[in-house]
Amino acid sequence: MALFQKTHLSIEKLHTLIDTVDSIVIGKKDVTRLTIVAMLAGGHILFEDIPGVGKTLLIRTIAKCLDADFARIQFTPDLIPSDIIGFSVPNAEGTAFNFRKGPIFNQLLLADEINRTSPRTQAAMLEAMSEKQVTLDGETHTLPEPFFVLATQNPIEYKGTYPLPEAQLDRFLFQLSLGYPDTEQEVQMLAAPDQQKAVEILQPVMTLDEFLTLKEAAAQVYVDDSLLQYIVSLALLTRNHPAIRLGISPRGNQFALASARAHALLAGRDYVVPQDILDILKPLYRHRLLFETHHSKEEIDAFIDQLTRELVIPKQSRHKR
């Protein structure tokens, strides 16, 4: 395909971007890679993580490497939808209203502690994420392209929070966690130059146009019918399992397909292999599976591993075009 012939250099730049982020957010290359996969797939990420592990640094560094607009919203109980979306103000003559854009009109957005604001504000935010547009006073305003949200919630301080309902959790492509660095990584962090200054002096690694071309190419990655059946069969296992109250939705399957395609593209292929699906399954399933009893992240990941062992992985050879 002509489109893929043009993307080889851009894919190399994307790997340079991942290496650049890893030099600043040390030891979290796998998380960075999955973040890029989500961006290529056109989805958003929910980070359930403790404070101070580098979530803001991660997305700021990616924004800098892409020369993209970046904003951070600190969610609080008194935040209202217009604080995020924007509002109309009268013009100087008082004859009409002008729309003043809110921080959601940035290409990369950090929605910090999204579970600390009211359900009304959460719903307005997530609706904009899903529709990629905002409607105010009968006028529709399109969000920028690319538009990517990295939302966070603190897993240890639930007092005074508003947990996201399952239907809203389903709007996030992946759930990820940076977690603590290991001892060696933390020593490297202390020995490294100031991370904030390092981000400030970064030069863009690739242009937004190059990234958007890759995003377009990801949507055209070939997927064999046997792999489509595999994605659906995995979801059916979750829907019929006695330990699960809520399994994977059709939208979850659509996200699985989009992220497997993006994962394949990042690997330099224009076709999906079974490993692409397996590599994105845990971050895709974690926040979508609702169990009858409480399960830790480790228990959920082990359950997903067990699911994959119940199905025969399709034999996949390179497709013929």
Does residue 1 carry a pLDDT above 60? no
In the chain, which segments carry CATH 1.10.8.80? Answer: 218-314
Residues of the chain with pLDDT > 70, as a percent, come to 94
Work out the average pLDDT over 228-233.
Answer: 96
Q: What is the pLDDT of residue 240?
A: 92
Does residue 126 carry a pLDDT above 90? no
Q: What is the pLDDT of residue 321?
A: 46
What would the pLDDT profile of 160-181 be if each residue is shown by its tens digit? Answer: 678 888 878 888 999 999 888 8
Other CB atoms within 10 A of residue 212 CB: 14
Work out the average pLDDT over 235-240.
Answer: 95
What would the pLDDT profile of 197-219 be if each residue is shown by its tens digit? Answer: 888 888 999 999 999 999 999 99
pLDDT band at 93 (very low <50, low <70, confident <90, very high): confident
Average pLDDT, the chain: 89
What would the pLDDT profile of 246-303 be if each residue is shown by its tens digit? Answer: 999 999 999 999 999 999 999 999 999 999 999 999 999 999 999 988 888 899 999 9
CATH classification of 218-314, choosing from 3.30.70.590, 2.160.10.10, 1.10.8.80, 2.60.40.10?
Answer: 1.10.8.80
In the chain, which segments carry CATH 3.40.50.300? Answer: 1-194
Work out the average pLDDT over 77-99.
Answer: 83
Class in CATH terms, 1-194: alpha beta
Does residue 186 carry a pLDDT above 90? no
Work out the average pLDDT over 186-200.
Answer: 82
What would the pLDDT profile of 29-61 be if each residue is shown by its tens digit? Answer: 999 999 999 999 999 999 988 787 788 999 999
